Amino acid sequence: MSRGAPIRTQGPDDGGTLMDRSVPDRRAFSFAPLDVPEVAVPPALARAARAGLPEVAEFDLVRHYTRLSQENYGTDTGAYPLGSCTMKYNPKMAETVAGFPGFQRLHPLQPDSSVQGALSMLWRLEEALCAITGMARATLQPPAGACGEMTGLLIMRAYHRDRGEGRTKVLIPDAAHGTNPASVRLAGFEVVPVPSDNRGLVDVTALEGLVDEQVAGLMLTNPNTLGLFEEDIERITALIHHAGGLVYYDGANLNAILGRCRPGDMGFDIVHINTHKTFATPHGGGGPGAGPVGVKEHLVDYLPSPVLRRDEDGTFGWDRDRPASIGRLHGFNGNFAVLVRAYAYVFIHGADGLKEVSELAALNANYLLSLIREDFPAAYPKGRPMHEFVATAKPLKDATGIRAMDVAKRLIDLGYHPTTVYFPLVVDEAMMVEPTETESKDTLEGFAAALRQAAAEARTTPELLRDAPVTTPVRRLDEARAARRLKLRWDCRE
């Protein structure tokens, strides 16, 4: 594809939804003739009007979705350096393993005795996640990182309640990901922001002033949302413990420290793991993914039920009778196939391979920053970023009027997915970049060249950036409206 040329998908562009292709009584599938007596649907249960489903032939269906996929950009298309989101290219090996018939054909209601292999896989995965994070036990139930946060906070609440303490506040750094405060509110706590200092790290002096007997805990990701390792982490966790609180590790950035250090050793009590960021499972958009939660020994009783059990004879089963448990967070035992992918990734890499993953994640981010920092300097230049970094387009904006959003849109025309922009909120004209460990040196250099080209154009031909994107099926979207007025469902009455 020539760079900057309008995208042309193959085949006719009908432009509409599948409903627009619908023709009454057209079908994509024909059932074999009934070989059992026909039973009339009781009138009370029968539908009075048409279901309003698309009625299309198989080729309508296949072509419609194939065309849509051609308009989409994913990790199978190219690099996706969206900071914080960790959109990494996942090895297909994990998909292959999850597709093995022995995993695919299981039913969650099968008796435990017939699924011992699957339970043993879950047990080994739990053990591995605990070894990686320094926790005692884990639940594999939560279907996403955000649900893991909710799980951890409910555990925190149950722990304080059992001590007869109605603690109300949870501390969160001001650079934190939006799901953190949202989960805190959902779990019934009040959010107390902790300011960052001029290094981009938690301001420990300010934190000291915020800690009191109403603090249930602190939520932190390390490296933090600016990609910087919290150097005072042991002091921070000790401070919270001293006040009777618990410390929660948001594991979204675990791929930066895999095999090198462990949240448990830093003093964290509860950890969630975003398997889609660290262990090769697909992004779930809030689920279906997997956000396992690990806890230290003193919190094991509160884990969601059931928890996996290994009996003395080596057989596996589930412990359901657990009076202190916070209950169930998801149907059955979590998203099984997603967990199979995580298992495959962990065990195919082994301990040394996982260590290499974190090394490459940090190396890639630092190399990329070194290529672009002249045009887009690091927001906190004194710190060395780990697996991601936050740069700023402020100097470019001051010199040319071109903003981070314009650069992001121009990147699309140059064939790359944009970086995250305007997050974290504490950085002016933020561009948050996470190349991930799976991208090659060539790809990083290509992406850096595109960013540098955009910066050069901002000075010579700024309209190229202001008008971008011109190669996409739709131009600049009203993103605030798209986020606030979601329309996800076709309504047959329209």
Ligand X SMILES: Cc1ncc(COP(=O)(O)O)c(C=O)c1O
Q: Which residue number, 225 or 364, has a Cβ lying nearer to ligand X? A: 225
Report how far residue 451's alpha carbon sits from residue 194's, in angstroms, rounded to the nearest whole number: 33
Selection from 156, 215, 204 nearest residue 183 by Cα: 156
Q: Which residue number, 179 or 471, has a Cβ lying nearer to ligand X? A: 179
Say which amino acid occupies 251: G
Partners of 299 in the β-ladder:
none
Q: Which residue number, 177 or 410, has a Cβ lying nearer to ligand X? A: 177
Q: Which residue number, 81 or 289, has a Cβ lying nearer to ligand X? A: 289
| Shortest separation between residue 304's beta carbon and ligand X, angstroms | 17
Q: How far is CA 306 from CA 278, 329, 446, in A?
A: 25, 10, 48
| Shortest separation between residue 225's beta carbon and ligand X, angstroms | 6
| Shortest separation between residue 371's beta carbon and ligand X, angstroms | 24
| Shortest separation between residue 177's beta carbon and ligand X, angstroms | 3
Which residues, including other chains, have CB under 8 Å from residue 167's CB and lie 6 or more apart? 160, 213, 214, 215, 216, 244, 245
Are the beta carbons of 91 and 345 closer than 8 angstroms?
Answer: yes
| Shortest separation between residue 150's beta carbon and ligand X, angstroms | 10
| Shortest separation between residue 16's beta carbon and ligand X, angstroms | 31
| Residue that has been written with the tokens 């599948």 in this structure | 18
Count of all residues that appear for the chain in the document: 494
Residue 250 is classified by DSSP as E
Report how far residue 304's alpha carbon sits from residue 318's, in angstroms, rounded to the nearest whole number: 12
Q: Which residue number, 442 or 479, has a Cβ lying nearer to ligand X? A: 479
The strand pair at 307-310 and 246-250 is best described as unpaired
Report how far residue 475's alpha carbon sits from residue 490's, in angstroms, rounded to the nearest whole number: 23
Report how far residue 132's alpha carbon sits from residue 430's, in angstroms, rounded to the nearest whole number: 32
| Shortest separation between residue 234's beta carbon and ligand X, angstroms | 21
Are the beta carbons of 441 and 367 closer than 8 angstroms?
Answer: yes
Say which amino acid occupies 137: R
The strand pair at 190-194 and 169-173 is best described as parallel
Report how far residue 306's alpha carbon sits from residue 321's, in angstroms, rounded to the nearest whole number: 8
Q: Which residue number, 84 or 471, has a Cβ lying nearer to ligand X? A: 84
Q: Which residue number, 145 or 294, has a Cβ lying nearer to ligand X? A: 145
Q: Which residue number, 179 or 443, has a Cβ lying nearer to ligand X? A: 179
Selection from 241, 229, 160, 163 nearest residue 201 by Cα: 229
Q: Which residue number, 179 or 436, has a Cβ lying nearer to ligand X? A: 179
| Residue that has been written with the tokens 């930066």 in this structure | 256
Q: Which residue number, 56 or 150, has a Cβ lying nearer to ligand X? A: 150
Q: Which residue number, 185 or 476, has a Cβ lying nearer to ligand X? A: 185
Query: What is the SS3 assignment for 432?
Result: strand
In the bound state, the residue with its beta carbon closest to ligand X is 145
Report how far residue 7's alpha carbon sits from residue 415's, in angstroms, rounded to the nearest whole number: 10
Report how far residue 69's alpha carbon sits from residue 9's, in angstroms, rounded to the nearest whole number: 10
| Shortest separation between residue 191's beta carbon and ligand X, angstroms | 15
Site residues (CB under 6 A) for ligand X? 84-85, 144-146, 177, 179, 221, 225, 250, 252, 274, 286, 289, 291
| Shortest separation between residue 337's beta carbon and ligand X, angstroms | 16
Residue 18 is classified by DSSP as G
| Shortest separation between residue 246's beta carbon and ligand X, angstroms | 18
| Shortest separation between residue 291's beta carbon and ligand X, angstroms | 5
